[in-house]
Amino acid sequence: MTYAEPLSFLKGARVMITGGTGSLGHALTRILLSESQVSSVIIFSRDEYKQYQMQLQMPANALKRMRFFLGDVRDEQRLRRAMRGVDYVIHAAALKHVPAAEYNPFEFIKTNVMGAENVINACLDTGVKRVVALSTDKAATPINLYGATKLCSDKLFVSGNNYSGKNPTRFAVVRYGNVVGSRGSVVPFFLQERAKGVLPITDRNMTRFWITIEQGAWLVFNALRQMAGGEIFVPRIPSMRVEELARTIAPECEMKEVGIRPGEKMHEVMVPLDDGRSTMAFDTHFVILPQQSLPQWAIKADDCIARGGKPCPSDFYFGSDNNTEWLQNGELARMIACLDLPEAQAWSLERGLSGHS
């Protein structure tokens, strides 16, 4: 599975990343500065220390093309100031911790929902050309508040195209599953817990989608290139059972089932059954077409067919349990070996692996 295509369309462009100091923001920035001729990359985030750390990690020649804005997506005026002269926006800022959302629902709504509205308005007011918002599999048929806020955000960005009028701004969404090695994910947790000899797993039959940070970043770039407006891009990525994941990381450990936490699903969904009739299939991804009425220039089924897409069956459903592609142990091992984490590097050395294996 490959997502990488030339980024020539970004030559001379100014790209802003909200939440740019996160795991994905780092990957997006690295690729933009090394693989494209962007004029500048603007990091917009609220944590001054993370911005400081990011600046320390960047070579001097890269910093010449970077700008750092302290700000919160809850502050629409600050967003407008940061977006002046910006061509493309990648909206990655969000509150993401599922249990925290249940305990702090108003905070998640302010950032994930009201923040999305602020980003949309600021992009429209400043004439940004294209906007890709990051979503999650938890936004499909959500059962927790975090997923519900992201579903609402997805709807806002798709409908945001109705507000463009003669304005050049176009909005689309990218939705994908668990990122191997991202902050707070289960892979770093298992790598740390294996020293105790026991790995707590929710349920042996639970399945999840998996994607690397690199794949996620290229999916965003391809969406920026291909989008007409109104699409939800969903990658064809593999699934893996949680038990197999645990055994790959720590085959010597005992597995202890602790049960599913509130707000968790046994299997994740990327294309719900009700969206199946509006979904187009490509070799590397799916596109969920908007069911609501959008401007004439927005994405249509005919556009997808012209690009090689095929309509999915009316009963189509893409879940981590009915996936046709499953992650093998060797593939997961190579993914872990590439992670920039001390625990992953130690694990890789024990098994004679390297990031280039």
11 noted as active-site residue: no
According to the model, what pLDDT value does residue 264 have?
86
Which residue from 73, 59, 75, 57 is spatially nearest to 16, judged by alpha carbons?
73
For residue 182, is pLDDT > 80?
A: no
Of the residues 50, 64, 96, 138, which is catalytic?
138
Mind spelling out the 3-state secondary structure of 66-77?
EEEEECCCCCHH
According to the model, what pLDDT value does residue 3 have?
54
Question: Which CATH code is given to the segment(s) 11-177+212-236+270-323?
Answer: 3.40.50.720
Rounded average pLDDT over 110-139 = 97
For residue 262, is pLDDT > 60?
A: yes
Tell me the domain boundaries of the chain.
Answer: 11-177+212-236+270-323
Mean pLDDT score across all residues of the chain:
92
Contacts of 302 (CB under 8 A, 6+ apart): none
Q: Give dist(CA 312, CA 306) in Å, integer.
A: 15
Strand-by-strand arrangement of the 130-134 sheet = 66-70, 40-45, 14-18, 88-91, 130-134, 170-174, 232-235, 285-288, 279-281, 310-311
For residue 2, is pLDDT > 70?
A: no
Contacts of 271 (CB under 8 A, 6+ apart): 140, 234, 279, 286, 288, 312, 316, 317, 318
- The predicted model scores a pTM of 0.93
> Over the stretch 67-122, which tens digit does the pLDDT of each residue have?
999 999 999 999 999 999 999 999 999 999 888 999 999 999 999 999 999 999 99
Rounded average pLDDT over 236-248 = 91
Q: Give dist(CA 41, CA 12) in Å, integer.
A: 11
Place of tokens 């007011």: 125
Calculate what percentage of the chain has a pLDDT beyond 70. Answer: 97
